[in-house]
Every structure is written in C-alpha cells, then in structure tokens.
Amino acid sequence: MFLSILGWVGAAVILSGYGLFSLGRLSNGPVYQLSNLVGALFISLNVAAHGAWPSAVVNGVWAIIAAVVLTRMLRVRAAARRAAEAARLEETERRIRADELQHVAAPTLADSVPVVTAALAIVALAAVQHEVDARATEARQAEAQHGFAGSAAEPV
C-alpha cells in the first residue's frame, strides 16, 4: 500500500512539474529539477517493487539526470553568490579608500606659513652672507689691480 501511494505521489509530482514547465509557469530551475528528482525516485521505487524493471531503470536514470542538473544549478548559484559578494566587498573597499582620500585635506597656505617663514630667514641670511662675500671679493680684486695686495695698511 505504501509503495502504491509513493508511486501515485511521484506521478503527481512529475506531471505537475512538467505541466507547469510546459505552460511557462515554472522555469527550468531548482524547483523543476527537484520535482523531477523526487517524482522519478518515487515512481522507480513503485515500479521496481512490482517488477517493472524497464520503467524502474528509466525513472532511475531520470532521477540521476535531475540530480546532476540540480547539483550543477546549485554550484552555479553558489559561485554567482560568491562572485557577487566579492564584487560587493571590492566596491565597499573602493568606497572606503575614496572616502579616506576625501578626508585627507591638502595642506593650506596657513599650514605652510611656518615652513615658508623659516625658509625666508635662511634665504635672508644667505643673501646677507653673499653680499659680504661679494664685497670682499671685489675688494681683493681691486687691490690686486692696484698692487695693494699684502700691504700693511689693510683695515682691521
């Protein structure tokens, strides 16, 4: 009695899935393949118990095909989910980096005033020293031209 009910349930499941698929109300997705798998298994158990081996083999193969297709579908979906998650993570990281760059402010003029002021002091000292060196060089050149080099009358 149990195997008869199993056979009828299997037939109803397969026919329902096939009918809905054929009418365009069910896509060739996991639900359709699961209905093929369950229905074919139930029918194959029923017909094997009654000795209808050709039907048992056909329904067994039908169940195997449905199991293979269902497994592939689930793997593809899992891979797509992983790829989508990786893309979301990459986009999140990109946004975080962009946000961090926006928060890094470029130095303003006020930030550079101490540096510029210090540099100006050094430049001013260098200019004064250059002027002193230039005058000393001019004086030595003038002395050399007039023959006063090494005289005792050099200013102290």
CA 92/CA 65 separation, integer angstroms: 40
Name the band, by pLDDT with cuts 50, 70 and 90, for residue 59.
Answer: very high
The answer to whether 10 and 39 have CB atoms below 8 angstroms apart is yes
Average pLDDT along the chain: 88
Least confident residue range of 7-11, 19-23, 65-69, 136-140: 136-140
**Does the reported pTM lie above 0.95?**
no
- State pLDDT tens for residues 23-32: 999 999 999 9
The answer to whether 40 and 10 have CB atoms below 8 angstroms apart is yes
What six digits make up the tokens of 42?
A: 């139930």
pLDDT for 107: 64
Asked whether residue 110 carries a pLDDT value surpassing 90, the answer given is no
Kindly list the domain boundaries of the chain, sorted by start residue: 2-103, 111-156
Asked whether residue 81 carries a pLDDT value surpassing 60, the answer given is yes
CB-based contacts of 40, cutoff 8 Å, min separation 6 = 10, 14, 59, 60, 62, 63, 66
Asked whether residue 148 carries a pLDDT value surpassing 80, the answer given is no
Of 40, 84, 32, 34, give the one whose Cα is nearest residue 61: 40
Asked whether residue 156 carries a pLDDT value surpassing 70, the answer given is no
pLDDT for 27: 95
pLDDT for 150: 52
CB-based contacts of 14, cutoff 8 Å, min separation 6 = 35, 36, 39, 40, 43
